Amino acid sequence: MIIHGIEGVSDGERLADEIGEKRFVGYIRADLSNSDEALELIERAEKLFGGVDILVNNAGIQHVAPIEEFTLAKWDKVLSINLTAPFLLMKACLGGMRARGWGRIINVASVHGLIGSANKSAYLAAKHGLVGLTKGVALEMATSGVTANCICPGFTDTPILEAQIKAKAAAVGGSYQEGVQELLREKQPNMTLLPPAQIAAAVEFLCGDDAAGITGIAMPIDGGWTAQ
């Protein structure tokens, strides 16, 4: 297994060691907004393992602002990491997967790949685009033994929400936890931030043989958000 991030190599390797007590886990630092670094990530992973059989595109950033205030630089940054990077990484991996007759692509999109919210124009464009891109890849790979699917989480307990939670807390003059509840009250009926482990469990299932017939889907894990 290879994990990647923008953390320093020592921090990444420490995390890899924690995960990899019973298996080999390596860490490769890469800034996925840089296309050269994205492609180098795959090249280095292939040198270590001889090929990439499972690709999980989970990197993501968000910027919240009305569209009139959304700068082109912010737009480009969100699209480069949330949509262009998955395109490049899939493109680099799919030839080998097809040749070996087996592969799994899991793109972590968002509930915002299925519905809309105000002040998130770039994120919406990227995540809707990722869902569409995944469907296209699934159809192109339909007879190859390679599947491609999206997972669409709702509000999940990760750092990407921190700025929004703090803004909600400030708006009501409350604590951070009160900000969490305000954020959830607007959208997510179960009123609970999703544990990342639940998203990981869905990834694990889609990578297994029992999911061989599942391709091209966008699976919501959203606490009831899209049921409304």
* Domain shared by 10 and 83, yes or no: no
* Domain shared by 18 and 3, yes or no: yes
pTM for this structure?
Answer: 0.88
* Domain shared by 184 and 226, yes or no: no
Is 9 a residue whose pLDDT tops 90? Answer: no
Q: Is 123 a catalytic residue?
A: yes
**Per-residue model confidence as pLDDT tens digits over 170-207:** 999 999 999 999 999 989 999 999 999 999 999 999 99
- Backbone angle region of 72, left / alpha / beta, with phi > 0 → left and psi within -120 to 50 → alpha: alpha
* Domain shared by 38 and 101, yes or no: yes
Is 15 a residue whose pLDDT tops 70? Answer: no
What's the structural domain count of the chain?
A: 3
Q: How confident is the model at residue 129 (pLDDT cuts 50, 70, 90)?
A: very high
pLDDT of residue 25: 74
* Domain shared by 115 and 7, yes or no: no
123, 127, 130, 179: which is the annotated catalytic residue?
A: 123
* Domain shared by 25 and 93, yes or no: no
* Domain shared by 74 and 122, yes or no: yes
Q: How confident is the model at residue 27 (pLDDT cuts 50, 70, 90)?
A: confident
Query: What's the longest Cα–Cα distance across the chain?
Result: 57
Domain with 181, as residue range(s), is 155-193
* Domain shared by 137 and 123, yes or no: yes
Asked whether the beta carbons of 215 and 149 are under 8 A apart, the reply is: yes
- Which H helix or E strand runs over 26? strand 26-29
* Domain shared by 121 and 213, yes or no: yes
* Domain shared by 122 and 73, yes or no: yes
Above pLDDT 90, what percent of the chain? 85
Distance CA 130, CA 124 (A): 10
* Domain shared by 54 and 85, yes or no: yes
Q: How confident is the model at residue 100 (pLDDT cuts 50, 70, 90)?
A: very high
Tally Cβ neighbours within 10 Å of residue 227: 8
**Per-residue model confidence as pLDDT tens digits over 136-176:** 999 999 999 999 999 999 999 998 899 999 999 999 999 99
**Per-residue model confidence as pLDDT tens digits over 30-77:** 999 999 999 999 999 999 889 999 999 999 999 999 999 999 999 999
* Domain shared by 81 and 179, yes or no: no
CATH code of residue 46: 3.40.50.720
